[in-house]
Amino acid sequence: MMHFESLKDWLAWQESLHPQTIDLGLERVTKVFRDLHPNYRKPLTITVAGTNGKGSCIATLEAIYRAQGYHVAAYTSPHILKYNERIKINGIPVADELICAAFTKIEAARGDTSLSYFEFGTLAALEIFTQANVDIQLLEVGLGGRLDAVNIIDADVTLISSIGIDHVDWLGATREEIGREKAGIFRADIPAVIGDTNPPDSLLQTALDKNARTYLIGKDFGYHKQPTGWDWYAGEHHIHLPPPALKGEHQYRNAASVIFAINTLTDRLPVSETAIQQGLVSVQLSGRFQLIEGDIPLLLDVGHNPEAVQTLVDYLTTTFPEKRIHAIFSMMKDKDITSVLEIMNPVIHDWFFAPLANPRTATEELMRRIFSQSPVAKVSFGFTDFAGAYQAAMNHAQQGDLLLVFGSFLLVSDCLLNLQKSELSK
């Protein structure tokens, strides 16, 4: 049995332990979970899946329940700066010591059962939340839904934020195939809240097959934007609300879905209109249309698939219509880079490729090839790291321009780390 004193050492070992980075399937993780918790007493649980918007939904749920004064746990992935961001209680990432203690218990319980990095993290989060005696746990699916480790828990409400094309190697190449995988989180007679305005037939059919209680945005609930704020409705029930603190048109969709999910649990966990209002205006989430003010403002977004970058284009054209935009860009090699370039190109003045130190990221050689076959005219290569690409973009920027960092969680992480270093060196 392995044991490590530091979280860093635990994580390094986990990354090397399992032969596959992603290994979908519930048999191994279920066995270990049952050995750890033979008499599991599940906290009230909301599970969120979707291609884009999962993190925003979890953050909004967390902010509203915290505004009501509940003891709230949230498990999300990936992290941006520190692993601990994945496991939060009352909005605060848990300490290294708690995670290491959970890993030690999991390692003792697993025997010869192999676990992936993500499975270790999921089991650790569930272990920590059980010990903390929380009022509600919010679980974000890592990949897909049906075979994701989070799906070992039977949720009290499930929420699907959106269905787009991503992770095609594991989930399929069409919205129908992907929808079927996401719908794996549904349970019989449990509310299935669907925030996608055009859900694939497979999602609805799976809900039907599973006998889930399905609720659709635009049909069972929805929203109307007003000159001041917006109105959320479900049947005869209407609430007037302030705009979400998270920016972008899609956040109204996410918030409307979240409020409906909360509404389905009000008999067990009551929430006031005041708490909903407070949660909406206080919610924060790094890397989602995150604006850092300065002489030349900097916008950060983790969007990395066609659906997410189309949302980004819509936001840029409405919020920064006159600005020249300089993009600092990188992506994982398994993403649809060609489509992302086509969608983004009309709003970008020039591009700066920032290499990332991760074997899953697109190399400069691959990016040069893709860019050469794209409509992009101005692109700069040859940088050794994020800092070099960022400085080059700054050198090209003038007063009134906008710097945009997008394409990957890892890139946004590099950017925030660099900004922290430059602040410390002042």
Q: What digits encode the pLDDT tens for the residues 205-225?
A: 999 999 999 999 999 999 999
Q: Where are the domains of the chain?
A: 7-282, 290-424
pLDDT digits (tens, 9 = 90+) for 272-282: 999 999 999 99
Q: Is 125:87 a contact under the CB 8 Å cutoff?
A: yes
DSSP assigned state of 66: H
Q: Which amino acid is at 42?
A: K
pLDDT for residue 167 is more than 70: no
Which burial class, exposed, middle or buried, applies to 124 when counting CB atoms under 10 A from its CB (0-12, 13-18, 19+)?
buried
Q: What percent of the chain has pLDDT over 90?
A: 85
- CATH class as words, domain 290-424: alpha beta
Q: From start to end of 110-210, where are the E strands?
A: 136-140, 157-160, 191-194
pTM of the full predicted structure? 0.94
> Which residue, among 305, 309, 411, has the nearest Cα to 355 in the 3D structure?
411
> 7-282 belongs to which CATH class?
alpha beta
Q: Within its chain, how far is the Cα of 327 from the centroid?
A: 22
Task: Find where tokens 């890592």 sit.
Answer: 142
311: DSSP letter:
H
Q: How confident is the model at residue 334 (pLDDT cuts 50, 70, 90)?
A: confident
Beta carbons of 124 and 36 less than 8 angstroms apart:
no
Q: Which two tokens stand for residue 111?
A: 């025997």
